[in-house]
Amino acid sequence: MKHKYLRKLTVIGLSFGIFAGGALVPTQASAKTKVRSYENIKNATYTVTKSSATVYSTASLTHKKGTLKSFGTKVTGYYAAHVTKNGKSSIYYKFKVGNKTGWVWHGYLKKAAPAQDLSKIYSPTELATVNQFKATAKSIGNSTKNMYSVKPVTKSHFAAGKLSDSYVNNTVRTINLARGLYGLPSVTANSAWNSSAQMGAATLAAADQGLSHGLVGFSKPSFVSNSDWQAGVDATNQSNLAEGYTGAYDTVTGYLNDSGNDDPGHREWLLGGINEVGVGQAGDYNDLRVFDMNDYSDATPSQPVAFPNKTVFPWEWVSGTRWSLSLPQSLDTKSAKITLTDNTAKKNVPVSGVLVTDGGYGDFNTSISYQPKDAMIQANHSYTVNITADGLGSGYTYTTKLFKVGDIN
């Protein structure tokens, strides 16, 4: 299976003047600044909207003490000053982060929504699982520092390179983090497969024409030998392929989310009957080897795998993509009925594009997938899924709760 991730860049046009969005933007402080009054405001968390904004020591704005960047992205506002500056009225907030305080124009702080009381959403056992998952994800992270023990060369001349043990281990840890939510056996990295996958990623990077299993349709660069190219052909025929991310956690998350594919094959390989993987990365190209065509030792999974799973599950993994039920048995049908209910909002969630296939990814014999209405899939909500199909007996019903992992970098 191949998967290409697209990054969206928001381009912000900058303009300079007195007004922005209808609000007065403060100019540099001067001797014409006068504090008219002070006001106690209720302690609240604010999100920083402009990290380069000037922070002052006092509401008189006579002494600068840096910018909001040094205070992080969240501050606590607790005091206000009504200021006249150059004949214009404005309001400045006093804020704190730990023992550090400062004054800044109120327009550079946006009041944050109050944090949800997660104890009202999750049981103590579920909350412990959520917190442990977040801690593990953060410990894995997406760092690419020292990701290679030998850096690949894919321009002008060719050398496949080699990933560091830590990068390979973080990829495997992320896969096993997902498998652990299902109680599935852990996988390990096969060193020979790592070499194969690295050749696959490096030949993809050398071709730099996108993704293709077996490098079909690609022209071999003249600086790549025939033997190395063939090794890349063999590797990419036995692997998940991706382009766009380099961090271990995000790459595996991309395979699991599997957005843009009707058959969630990348996902099914990682949650299927495999017991080992090979990890390769060269630039933006990833090759994750998941089987061996010459020694096929994977086993048919012993249990159904629902995505998301019952109990608690990462919201980011299921947002904007198809949900699925992968079955070890074959179903003699091409149709299924899906009912999805948001228990928190007490609403039915529309689903579309229901497919029943027998692609064999991950050694599953049947894959049922469907697309929920994405705007109705929210973190900290509970959902009940009911799937019925010929050959599925009384159907498959379960409840999941989606939690937000957040920034793990």
In a domain, 217, yes or no: yes
Burial of 60: CB neighbours in 10 Å, binned 0-12, 13-18, 19+: middle
Do 263 and 330 fall within a single domain? no
Residue at a domain's end among 90, 111, 132: 111
Do 285 and 168 fall within a single domain? yes
Instruction: Identify residue 406 by its one-letter amino acid code.
Output: G
Note the pLDDT of residue 297.
63
* Total structural domains within the chain: 3
The CATH number of whichever domain residue 365 belongs to comes to 2.60.40.1220
* 335-360 pLDDT tens trace: 999 999 999 999 999 999 999 999 78
Q: What's the first-to-final CA gap in the chain, in angstroms?
A: 27
In a domain, 176, yes or no: yes
Q: Which residues contact 394 (CB under 8 A, 6 or more apart)?
A: none
The CATH number of whichever domain residue 37 belongs to comes to 2.30.30.170
> CA 5 from chain center: how many Å?
11
Q: Are 74 and 45 in contact (CB under 8 A)?
A: yes
Note the pLDDT of residue 295.
76
Q: What average pLDDT does range 360-371 have in this prediction?
A: 95
Do 205 and 284 fall within a single domain? yes
| pLDDT tier at 16, thresholds 50, 70, 90 | very low
If DSSP codes are grouped into helix, strand and coil, which group holds residue 86?
A: coil
Note the pLDDT of residue 15.
33
Do 59 and 99 fall within a single domain? yes
Do 282 and 309 fall within a single domain? no
Could you tell me the residue range of the domain that residue 42 belongs to? 33-111
Note the pLDDT of residue 310.
94
Do 221 and 321 fall within a single domain? no
Q: What average pLDDT does range 33-58 have in this prediction?
A: 94
Q: Are 324 and 354 in contact (CB under 8 A)?
A: no
The CATH number of whichever domain residue 248 belongs to comes to 3.40.33.10
Do 87 and 189 fall within a single domain? no
In a domain, 299, yes or no: no
Name the percent of the chain lying above pLDDT 70: 92
Q: What average pLDDT does range 5-23 have in this prediction?
A: 34
Note the pLDDT of residue 116.
78
